[in-house]
Structure 1
Amino acid sequence: MLDTPAQLNSLYDRVRNVIPPIEWPAFTSDIESILELKEKRDAVILAHNYQTPEIFHCVADIVGDSLALARKAMEVEAGTIVLAGVHFMAETAKLLNPEKTVLIPDTRAGCSLAESITPADVRLMRERYPGVPIVTYVNTSAAVKAESDICCTSGNARAVVESLGVPRVIMIPDEYLAQNIAKETDVEIIAWKGHCEVHELFTADDIRELREAHSGVTVLAHPECPPDVVAEADFSGSTAAMSNFVETKAPGRVVLLTECSMSDNIAAAHPEVEFMRPCNLCPHMKRITLSNIRDALEQDRYEVILDPATADRARVAVERMLAV
């Protein structure tokens, strides 16, 4: 157990702006156990920006967007990694740490983008567009990454595309991300028809209604949103870029068009900023809870296992991205 109640109080100070006092006791037992188990198991917890505040601020050791988690995973010294996120993120952590144990608390934590494309689809794209390099969003399975030339995230997609020095690329599987990046570069981008089930729900009308209802609101949109939504927003960027925008620009009133917990996690650190909350929940991210993180550490479940040949090929695509 933690040494003193003061330590739990310190953790609550991080989230008191977004978790009411009456709810906090429901989390403390799991938090205490997780902190003990991490030390006992030589484990670290990597948490995506879409995780709930009690995970993100109270038990995670490393937090960030997909790119940050990919980079920081390589610096982990602990023998066990628990990935508080979705399955493709756990696979990426395993790719970069093949000798470590990587656990995901719920194997059902998937992703609509990852499910929108298969390795066979990628091979057909190569046949249709011979010689055109394939840039694959990290929101894909290791098997799809293995069929690709290089990976990207929403934060580095343009840099990755332009790093190839070619006039045309295939960018899979997020159609909207590809269309939004195409507007920023002279490189021709051939897109796939995959969409994020969270971000595709936002509309340009949503933004116009927000502006009418809340004067002076600053609208930040994730580039997985439809292009007309991105065009209507004041700023578009990855979750890390949105967080940095709030940190550096300190808008008085802001809305983040992305997954709901993103606003909660930034609001926890910025009580001076008023956050509007027209967000959409990711059902996959919300499968990860304090309770099943605790179970993962107690019961060593669920370990991510990759086919070695597939992993070797997928690792090359991820490492190429990290080198950009």
Structure 2
Amino acid sequence: MQLMSVLNLDLTKEIQRLKKEKNAIVLAHNYQISPVQDVADFVGDSLKLSRLAGETDASYIIFCGVHFMAETASIISPDKKVLIPDLEAGCSLASSINPNELLKWKNENPDAVVVSYVNTSAEVKALSDYCCTSSNAVKVVQSIPESNTILFLPDMFLGAYVAEVTKRKNIKIWPGECHVHAGITDKDINRMLNKYVNAEFMVHPECSCTSSTLYHISNGDINGESKILSTEGMMNEARVSKNNQFLVATEVGILSRMRQENPSKEFIPVKEDAICKYMKKITIEKVYNSLVNDVYEVKVPEDIARKAIIPIERMLAIS
């Protein structure tokens, strides 16, 4: 354990040195492991990190997240070199639809407007009219004339939630899901709410891992009051709330930051094994390797990026 601590300390110092030397920043998603979050310049959700990627003056962006996030950073900041420390850091939800499947679906519905969740590949975004996050999906759909049929993809739970809230009958939903949120059920939540009766329940709306939870809330399948908050909203709520105990329904990586910023409060995961195996592929050793060897670059082809930026910019404007 001591040897590992020394190794991590040395790597941390080297990463900080290399960032200055190469004019690089490290962006880490909330679901990254703690050592990776600790060396990051910014920690947040994919939308926040994408915005930061567009605002930075850094020459290199080391994106500690999953592949579609690095793609989005590349699309927004084509003049930057975007690196992801592990090419296998994919996304099961993004993989649930490919460009050929979307083209076929569009051909079957030629007059429909395509709304793609941000958890999609660059090629799918390039075929879309709008992108969205869980927090602004309702706003995006409401901005589209009610007469237009909407093809919503790829998260079936988020799509069902949006359809329930907007009461629109002309939303067609792709049957995709992510391996994490599929494992968080209303039964899990109700069991924990019954066990921790004084805990404040928070669910994060900007990650696919909780979209099924949002759907169950809208259907009344979950007992008690629920607070649907963005990442920063979650963190702010944890700081200002008079409660000292919280039930958190999302990927467990965010608990590290919550506990670090609020040491006197208790944060309990609704499901301890709500772990994104792809997010956990990135380690501090891989971050160091990425900086030293300029690996692995994520560069979206110009023709795809030119089309994909349109729905992304529409998403940013609405959010």
Please give the TM-score of this superposition, normalised by the length of structure 1. 0.88
Structure 1, unaligned runs of 5 or more: 1-19
Q: Closer, same or farther in 2 for the Cα pair 1:283/1:42, shift >3 Å?
A: same
More displaced 10-residue stretch of structure 1: 41-50 or 118-127: 118-127
In structure 2, stretches of 5+ residues that fail to align are: 205-209
Name the SS for the 1:151 alignment partner: strand
Judged with a 3 Å threshold, the aligned counterparts in structure 2 of structure 1 residues 92 and 215 are, in CA distance, closer, same or farther, namely same
**1:230-274 deviation per Cα after TM superposition (whole angstroms, max 9, x unaligned):** 641612344344333323435321121111111121111011221
Look up the match of 1:155: 135
Question: 1:300 matched to which residue of 2?
Answer: 294
Q: Which moved more, 1:184-193 or 1:99-108?
A: 184-193
How far off is 1:109 after superposition?
0.1
Residues 173 and 193 of structure 1 are in contact (CA less than 8 Å); yes or no, is this contact kept in structure 2? yes
Which of 90, 112, 118 is 2:70 aligned to?
90
Q: 1:113 aligns with which of 93, 99, 124?
A: 93
Equivalent pair of 1:82/1:102 in contact (CA under 8 Å)? yes
Please give the TM-score of this superposition, normalised by the length of structure 2. 0.89
- 8 Å Cα contact 1:196/1:224 also seen in 2: no
1:30 aligns with 2:22: no
Q: Partners in 2 of 1:215 and 1:249 — Cα distance? A: 16
Q: Which residue of 1 aligns with 2:185?
A: 203
Do the aligned residues in 1 keep the contact of 2:126 with 2:308 (CA within 8 Å)? Answer: yes
Distance 2:303 2:76 in 1: 14
Contact 1:161 1:187 survives alignment (8 Å): no
Instruction: Give the RMSD, CA atoms, in angstroms.
Output: 2.0
Stretch deviating more after TM superposition (260-269 or 212-221): 212-221
Inter-partner Cα distance in structure 1 for 2:243 and 2:103:
45
Change (3 A) 1:166 1:66: farther
Quick one: distance in 2 between partners of 1:61 and 1:263? 18
Is the 2:258–2:267 Cα contact (8 Å) retained in structure 1? Answer: no
- Indicate which of 248, 254, 263 corresponds to 1:256: 248
Greater CA deviation, 211-220 or 70-79?
211-220
Aligned pair in 2 of structure 1 residues 201, 123: CA closer, same or farther (>3 Å)?
same
1:69-97 C-alpha deviation (Å, 9 max, x unpaired): 12221101001000010000000000001
Instruction: Tell me the amino acid that sits aligned with residue 258 of structure 1.
Output: T
Does 1:135 pair with 2:115? yes
Distance change >3 Å, CA 36–CA 311, structure 1 → 2: same
1: CA distance between counterparts of 2:80 and 2:127?
Answer: 24
Matched, 1:309 2:307: no
Is 1:171 matched up with 2:165?
A: no
**Which amino acid is the alignment partner of residue 187 of structure 2?**
D
Change (3 A) 1:102 1:267: same
Q: Secondary structure at the match of 2:145?
A: coil
Cα distance, 1:62 vs. partner? 1.9
Q: Percent identity?
A: 37
The 1:197–1:238 alpha-carbon spacing in structure 2 relative to 1, beyond 3 Å, is: farther
